[in-house]
A and B are shown apart, each in its own frame.
Chain A
Amino acid sequence: MSEAGKVIEIEVLRYRPEQDAAPVTQMFRVPFTDDMSVLQGLQYIKDHLDGTLSFRWSCRMAICGSCGMMIDGKPKLSCKTFLREFYPAGLRVEALAHFPIERDLVAGVDDFIVKLESIKPYLIPKESRRLEQGEYLQTPHELEQYEQFSSCINCMLCYAACPQYGLDSKFTGPGVLALLHRYNADSRDGGRDERMQLVNAEEGVWSCTAVGYCSEVCPKAVDPANAVNLNKVESAKDYFLRFVRKQ
């Protein structure tokens, strides 16, 4: 168990656009116990040390996707990263990389949302079915083909990890490509052709340089790198089929 009276130093990159010309670092000393997450450390700061620190959070259990941030330079969910891992050295937290900072630890995520909305992230049924006809049949094996990719919580850690997105934010990026693949791989869906136009575009899968760091940081084992790769294969097939069709 925890020793009584342990204190950890949390260095926070602050940015308040109404007063700071550029981001500044602020150090907080936070008493902690071994079961406390980084998020709980930040909550302690807000409640007891400095009410002006802003960050997003809600569920505390790694499912709402709100609390992603850079922790000692790595994209992580602060709710399931624990302070004890950084003791006694302390830790540094910053807003997610590759996004503009709106304030403190709050990243501007409009770009991600626009991309998500752009890929038709909904079922485009292969065949229509009325409610009275009941559900589409889908075997556990068919479910397995896309289930993993449907588990993305939109936390955007993979975007903060993606060097390509960091260089050029036009790249659709790992999370949204995984979502696109989730629908393409769904046995009920017939929207693949519409979505593949986006995949084949320069900002689609071909921007990916196959670093794979996105999958490493994914807190939900969605493996977006795999989704991107599978779509490279699909996209290549599309490319060659075009020649076949022409003949």
Chain B
Amino acid sequence: MLEVFKADVVIVGAGGAGLRAAIAVAEADPSLTVALVSKVYPMRSHTVAAEGGAAAVTQTHDSLEHHFNDTVTGGDWLCEQDVVEYFVAHAHEEMVQMEHWGCPWSRREDGHANVRAFGGMKIERTWFAADKTGFHMLHTLFQTSIKYPSIKRFDEHFCVDLLVEDGRAQGVVTIEIASGEFRLIRARAVIIATGGAGRVFRENTNGGIVTGDGMALAYRHGVPLRDMEFVQYHPTCMPRTGLLFTEACRGEGGFLVNKDGYRYLQDYGLGPAEPVPRNKAMELGPRDRLSQAFWHEKKKGRTIDGPLGPVVHLDLRHLGERKLRERLPQIYELAVEFLGVDPSLAPIPVVPAVHYTMGGILADGRTASPLPGLYSVGECSSVGIHGANRLGSNSLTELLVFGKVAGVEAAAYAHTVTNSSSDVLERQADAACQRALGIVNRQGGSERIAVLRDEMARSMESGCGIYRTEADMQATCDKIGELKARYLNLRVDDHSKVWNTEWLLAIELGYQLDVAQAMVHSAIHRKESRGSHQRLDGFEQRDDVNFLKHSLATYAGDTAPRVSLSAVKITKSQPGTRAYGAAGEKAESQRKLEGSAHV
């Protein structure tokens, strides 16, 4: 018999976004029961791995206008500008809220929170807790959530489906991992906060749990995934494992050099090279441009041959051991323990690796999806602030600003509706359970999870990497289609109930294949180059006439998704030249001149 839990709001995912949303519901109305579902204990969520910091306008010589412009320019004008305006305006109060909840932000001598420089940001505005900002935010939120008795956690519960009835999201079906038992969690509003999908690529910075679960669930229920072709490569990661060396390494003054010890970024429109980092130039350029520069250096044969392939060097030696230990202690530890490199004595070998999915579940500026009762927040969501390339330190802020919005909106919505009859919901849940069991009980399958996952990850890397061509993307479209067919013939060895992680991996692989398919079909559809989507096959330029548009991938079952385009909300920044370094400064003064001419 299916166990049933009656909640008012159910949240899937208990990372930064899910926890912030849960607290927002609890504060908005303590009488509402929040079911907080997570496939891991909340403090294991991948927010934990974020290093560098969270952006919010803080200094007197900074302005919301600057943060807005950096974000919209950084996103190559594919941002929802009204949403960005809301975001930058509410960022600072969320930093302060975190401080009031105890987050150990790094401080200035006068006791105020300190800020550091970050890529693509004009003024230093990144709040940080050493180089473990995500870790500290996550633990602060998790520990704070314990204060609220209305938050009922379902730790290590794996979500297998959403319940959609009467045209509304009305709950979820979960597996309790420790027992293998199913549970129906009824709710009048559902918030998805399950994070990104970076594990569909081979070399990535993401934890093993980052498998796009929530994206796939919403997508399968007809909610479009928006802008999925935009996948961020972080330029400074460990070869093979993809483990991350934060952008704060460069914010603190680190250099990127090629085999000649040359700061090569000056050859890619990011110069001039100066001894101290200038904001929005050189190493403090945006991630898409830096990762693209690596690709070109490799082509030119100017990278360094490492044992695991070509690398460039992240040189932090000139910062000195003391500063490294104070500002970048985790980076220090990672370099020493995982690479045997003491960064005060030797440069760190790095490569770009997949880091972040800019796109996600279609959501409006209040986190609502087109499916009534369904909200999404965080990396799984596309509220529209990142456009074609996210700026570092905007995503941690996003979790907070829109986590709160999602909680408030879901709480308000829950008051306006009642659940459909239990019979109907339980019948639907039973069907979901049978589908999940079908994966583990299938007879006669022959395909191995690891084989399919590996083929998917390699194909995504070759088709949806830093530079893309029609032929490669088509090959990946074909490959993912083939893998989806082979997935139906999957063999799972483990038929037990207690902690059957092979079963969960199999379900996750299904999620990943759907999300990967949305990514590559969205990519092949975009016949231009913008932000992190760069083509080499005759579409090297941005095309605002045809593609100043979001992509929407709509699920179509066994066949390829339908991809359509939708308008981008422009409020005050018309698309212009996206430039950094000296060229960027020139472009900015040009824009100012034109702006004053219009006035």
Contact = CB atoms under 8 A, between A and B. Distances in A.
Given A121-B143, A139-B109, A63 B135 contact: yes
B49 A59 contact: yes
Given A140-B109, A150-B139, A104 B499 contact: yes
A66 interface: yes
B102 A122 contact: yes
A232 interface: no
Given A51-B493, A63-B330, A151-B132, A131 B498 contact: no
Interface stretch (A15-23, A222-230, A237-245): A15-23
Contacts of B500: 54
B106 A150 contact: no
A13 to B, nearest CB: 14
A1 B102 contact: no
Given A48-B450, A122-B101, A135-B99, A113 B41 contact: yes
Contacts of B95: 135
Interface in B296-314: 307-308
Contacts of B46: 58-59, 64
Contacts of B207: 58-60, 64
B146 interface: yes
Give the interface centre of A61, A80, A104, A109 by most chain B CB atoms within 10 Å.
Answer: A61
Given A18-B498, A103-B499, A139 B102 contact: no
Interface stretch (A160-168, A181-189, A198-206, A207-215): A181-189
Contacts of B564: none
| Interface size range of chain B in the complex | 35 or more
Nearest to B139: A150
Given A58-B208, A131-B97, A80 B337 contact: yes
Contact of B146 (A60, A122, A125): A122
A179 B144 CA distance: 13
Interface in A1-39: 1, 16-19, 35
A46 interface: yes
Interface string B133-165: 001100100011011000000010000000000
Contacts of A19: 496
A134 B97 CA distance: 9
Contacts of A139: 107, 109-111
A41 interface: no
Contact of A52 (B112, B144, B493, B497): B493
A72 interface: no
A140 B130 CA distance: 12
A54 B40 contact: no
A58 B93 contact: no
Contacts of A151: 132
A2 to B, nearest CB: 9
A123 B102 contact: yes
Interface in A121-155: 121-123, 125, 129, 131, 134-140, 142-143, 146-147, 150-151, 153-154
A146 B104 contact: yes
Interface stretch (B116-124, B240-248, B249-257, B526-534): B240-248
Contacts of B502: 46, 51-52, 54
Contacts of A106: 499
B499 A1 contact: no
A194 interface: no
Contact of B499 (A54, A66, A129): A54
A135 B112 contact: yes
Contacts of A58: 40, 44, 46, 207-209
A111 interface: no
| Interface size range of chain A in the complex | 35 or more
Contacts of A59: 44, 46, 48-49, 207-208
A63 B493 contact: no
A17 to B, nearest CB: 5
A10 to B, nearest CB: 17
B483 interface: no
A50 interface: yes
B102 A66 contact: no
Given A46-B502, A52-B494, A63-B48, A138 B102 contact: no
B209 A51 contact: no
A137 B111 contact: yes
B374 interface: no
B208 A17 contact: no
Contacts of A125: 100
Contacts of B132: 63, 151
Nearest to B111: A137
Given A113-B41, A188-B102, A121 B334 contact: no
Contact of A135 (B96, B146, B208): B96
Contact of A66 (B40, B93, B136): B40
A135 B113 contact: yes
A16 B493 CA distance: 14
Contacts of B501: 46, 54-55
Contacts of B330: 63
B105 interface: yes
A117 interface: yes
Interface in B404-423: none
A213 B463 CA distance: 50
A110 to B, nearest CB: 9
A57 interface: yes
A102 B498 contact: yes
A134 B494 CA distance: 54
Interface in A98-123: 102-104, 106, 108-109, 113, 116-117, 121-123
Given A54-B500, A61-B338, A63-B48, 17 more contacts: A1-B307, A17-B498, A48-B450, A51-B492, A52-B496, A60-B207, A64-B43, A66-B40, A122-B146, A122-B147, A123-B102, A135-B105, A142-B111, A143-B106, A179-B143, A183-B102, A188-B102
5 contacts: A46-B502, A47-B448, A59-B44, A63-B132, A186-B102
Give me the 4 closest cross-chain CB pairs, A-B, nearest first: A137-B111, A47-B450, A123-B102, A58-B207
